[in-house]
């Protein structure tokens, strides 16, 4: 079961819908997570909230497309053999996503899907700091986006 709390900190828009988020997150869950109960938050924010969080948690004083905050299981629960189904939080700046889609010649829906796929992979421990890890993550993103029916997210002007 996938439980997503879609939060709009700005005026709600037509994209993404809760159904789209569930589809995009669901297909992004890897290994055993695809068959387990998973809970997470997708919060859509303005540039100021994105910038504040990016500055406070990543040391970068600018708004960004997506921030991922993986949930860390409390040690006491793990020692008891218990685990909460919470994956973490995605914070996505709608204005940045729209601007990037326009600048890169991508359909808005496809770019939203990519941001949620990308962020969901981060919540599962994937990253792109080291080149080898980046290649693995990008390959997985391309595969997921293709399964969703979207073009390669790393190609320019794929409208």
The average pLDDT across 85-108 equals 96
Q: Specify the CATH number for the domain of residue 140.
A: 3.40.390.30
**How many separate domains does the chain show?**
1
pLDDT above 70: percentage of residues in the chain: 93
Average pLDDT over residues 117-141: 93
Residue 64's pLDDT is: 98
Q: Which residues fall in the annotated binding site?
A: 118, 122, 128
- What mean pLDDT value characterizes the chain? 92
89 CA to centre of own chain: 8
**Residues 36-54: pLDDT tens digits?**
899 999 999 999 999 999 9
Record the pTM.
0.91
Residues that constitute the known binding site for Zn(2+):
118, 122, 128
> Domain range spanning residue 125?
2-147
Confidence of residue 150 (pLDDT cuts 50, 70, 90): very high
Q: What is the dihedral of CA 47, 142, 25, 89, to 10 degrees?
A: -40
Does 157 reside within a domain?
Answer: no
């Amino acid at each position: 079961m996938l439980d997503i709390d879609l939060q709009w900190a700005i005026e709600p828009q037509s994209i993404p819908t809760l159904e789209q988020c569930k589809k995009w997150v669901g297909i992004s869950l890897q290994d055993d997570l695809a068959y387990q109960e998973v809970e997470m938050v997708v919060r859509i924010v303005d540039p100021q909230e994105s910038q504040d969080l990016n500055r406070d948690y990543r040391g970068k004083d600018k708004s960004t497309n997506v921030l991922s905050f993986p949930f860390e299981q409390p040690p006491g629960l793990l020692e008891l053999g218990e685990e909460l189904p919470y994956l973490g939080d995605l914070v996505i700046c709608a204005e940045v996503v729209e601007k990037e889609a326009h600048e890169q010649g991508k359909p808005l829906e496809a770019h939203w899907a990519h941001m949620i796929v990308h962020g969901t992979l981060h919540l599962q421990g994937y990253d792109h700091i080291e080149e080898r890890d980046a290649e693995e993550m990008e390959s997985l993103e391309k595969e997921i986006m293709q399964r969703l029916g979207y073009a390669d997210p790393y190609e320019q002007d794929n409208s």
